[in-house]
Amino acid sequence: MVKCSFCEREAVYINRVNGKAYCRKHFLEYFDRKVRRTIRKYKMFGRKEHIIVAVSGGKDSLSLLHYLVKLSKRVPGWKITALLIDEGIRGYRDITIKDFLRVAEELGVDYKIAGFKEYIGYSLDEIVLMGKKRGLPYLPCSYCGVFRRYLLNKVARELGGTVLATAHNLDDVIQTYVMNIINNSWDKIIRLAPVSGPIDHPKFVKRVKPFYEILEKETTLYSIINGLYPKFVECPYAPFNIRWSIRRMINELEEKYPGTKYSLLRSLLSIIDLLKNNPKLNIGEIKTCRICGEPSAHEICRACIYRIELGIIELPDELREIAEKLRIRIPEKP
Amino acid sequence: MITIRLVDGSKKWSIPRDRGRIRELLNNIGLLSEEYIIIRNSKVVTPEDEAVDGDEIILYPVVSGG
Ligand SMILES: [Zn+2]
Ligand SMILES: [Zn+2]
């Protein structure tokens, strides 16, 4: 039996970097200290905040919601609202929504479910079929990612949120980091900061990652201890891509050389700092979408580009020139 | 005999051994202890704990979306 390094109880977790073992009680204290330190270090929240927690129904986001609701009881100026985006994926979202509702009700937290159907006009299942019919070259995850991000920001703002918290953990962040190194996408690496986004746009809600320094193993254990670990349902669109190999590779390294993950995170923070003000990296100013008014990298935002290409909205004639420059696949008028 | 299974029941192994450190038992069947939370006889344990004949180990995958 492995004993806790701080008391006589049985250990449930070993931190192989500092060599300490933790019982259930001391693990929860360690977890709490670590998340609070992350929040403080990167100045994620102020004294008065309406925190919108982006919840997918997976273990990490349920853990984040659970953690922040508990923490908010000690901070009088905080209000928490959970936000779940319902993409409309049959056999997946309808099941995971139940885990979410159970946890939200147990915690007594306000929540909002925003559906693709309601905001975009069609469910993801429908959008995927429409895209296929029109011969668009996008994967389901491209539509999903773009519309999800779009709605998270828009709905968080409409709810009166001052900050949007997502459940990305250390593992997620460093996997994306390695993927972007391979793809030579340094502009995307900058977006992996613990506090991110074009903060100087009036319609942009600041984004934070309170689990930035927390291992996926630790968020999982937190979810199991607190009865949050959901029944596993895989998204039918989940791609088998390079991320799986990178994850396995990093986990193999971590098993052989404990501390590898933290080293990668430090490497990421250094490179973000080096790239931040580098004129060679043309990040460009944040614009406002001429169609929907949301913050955007171009004059027409990615979500509106997809909507035009899918035939959900029509391209206004005065934007035709811009659309051609952005190489939007403009459907022919009937 | 030590039995190991994934929590969703999708995989199961029976290991004909009297005892062993869990990390090594997992490595022997091609799994990384880094990727699972380990439940031995209904209690969370660490990969450095031992399993003995008759123990049932359930693995909760750490990897899966947010
Ligand atoms: Zn203890
Ligand atoms: Zn737009």
Burial classification of residue A55, based on how many CB atoms lie within 10 Å of its CB (0-12 exposed, 13-18 middle, 19 or more buried): buried
Distance A184 CA to ligand 1 centre (A): 45
The ranges assigned to domains in chain A are 1-41, 44-280, 284-334
pLDDT value for A95: 87
Q: Are A186 and A281 in contact (CB under 8 A)?
A: yes
| Phi and psi based region of residue A41 (left: phi greater than 0; alpha: psi -120 to 50; beta: remaining) | alpha
Sorted by sequence, the CB contacts under 8 Å of residue A147 that are 6+ apart come out as A87, A116, A120, A124, A127, A303, A306
Closest CA of chain B from A7, distance in Å: 16
Tell me the average pLDDT of chain B.
Answer: 93
Distance B39 CA to ligand 1 centre (A): 18
Residues of A in contact with B48 (CB under 8 A): 2, 14
pLDDT value for A282: 66
Distance A313 CA to ligand 2 centre (A): 11
Predicted confidence band of residue B31 (pLDDT cuts 50, 70, 90): very high
Q: Are A226 and A220 in contact (CB under 8 A)?
A: no
Predicted confidence band of residue B66 (pLDDT cuts 50, 70, 90): very low
Write down the architecture of domain A44-280 according to CATH.
3-Layer(aba) Sandwich (3.40)
Q: Does the complex come out with an ipTM higher than 0.90?
A: yes
Write down the architecture of domain B2-61 according to CATH.
Roll (3.10)
Mutate to test the interface with B, among A9, A10, A152 (most CBs of B within 10 A): A10
Give the residue on B whose Cα is nearest the Cα of A253: B34
Stretches where chain A sits below pLDDT 50 are: none
Judged by a CB distance cut-off of 8 A, whether residue B52 touches chain A is: no
Q: What is the pLDDT of residues B16-25, one digit of tens each?
A: 999 999 999 9
* CA dihedral angle for residue A24, residue A29, residue A34, residue A37, rounded to 10 degrees: 170
Question: Are B48 and A2 an interchain contact pair (Cβ–Cβ within 8 Å)?
Answer: yes
| End-to-end Cα spacing for chain A | 73
Q: Which ligand is nearest to the CA of A6?
A: 1
Distance A300 CA to ligand 2 centre (A): 5
Q: Minimal CA–CA distance to A301: which of A50, A74, A120?
A: A120
Query: Between chain A and chain B, how many beta carbons pairs sit less than 8 Å apart?
Result: 70
Instruction: Pull the structure tokens for residue A130.
Output: 């429409």
